[in-house]
Amino acid sequence: MHYPAGINKAQKKDINYGNRGMTLENDLNETNNYYLIHDIAVIYKKPTPITINKVDYKSRNDAVIREARFKIPSTTDYNGIYKGRYVDFEAKETRSKTSFPLSNIHEHQITHLKKVFLHGGIAFIIVRFICFNETYYLNVTDLLFFLDNNSRKSIPYSFFKEKGHLILDKYNPRVDYIAVIDKLFF
């Protein structure tokens, strides 16, 4: 199944259980579930935004959407609360070994992260370099610094190594980004 640019593949997990735990999204879902169960944080992935055109309504509990389209998301995919603070981030993976293509993130998502930061929230992106099996936390301030000082259409891997924070690959929670938040903010 293919999706247009910028559309996340949340729905895949409902079909493709074989991939469970293999994608960043699945890892983050399990991580957020771990945080929730252990009462550490309340952070959820937002549903994929769509515009519904046709619904077959058979009964109160059986409605089938027959025509809908993906919408460009206005915000990021993940948000929630940790130790009273508002947390907001976007997560992407790339197969590139050299850089993270900025086409993966919509401009208004970056604007959104900036607004969250200005309102006192904890805003960042999580980027996984699949080839290295490395997942980085990059604070919005570092992301904005890069964008303000570069005309490049991608962020070099070296920038993540320098300014980002490597998220340790663990068994549980799989992508422990709260450990980075703890280090940076608490």
Stretch that binds a second copy, among 1-9, 23-31, 140-148, 174-182 (CB under 8 A): 1-9
Count of CB atoms situated within 10 Å of the CB of 75: 18
136 vs 177 by CB, closer to a second copy: 177
> What token pair was written down for 166?
């490597």
Q: Which of 18, 37, 64, 162 binds a second copy (CB under 8 A)?
A: 64
53 binds a second copy (CB under 8 A): yes
15 binds a second copy (CB under 8 A): yes
Count of CB atoms situated within 10 Å of the CB of 17: 10
> What token pair was written down for 98?
């050299």
Q: Which of 112, 128, 165, 174 binds a second copy (CB under 8 A)?
A: 112
DSSP 70-125: E---SS-SEEEEETTEEEEEEEEEE--SSEEEGGGS-HHHHHHHHHHHHTT-EEEE
What minimum distance in Å lies between the beta carbon of 60 and a second copy? 6
Stretch that binds a second copy, among 55-63, 90-98, 149-157, 170-178 (CB under 8 A): 55-63
119 binds a second copy (CB under 8 A): yes
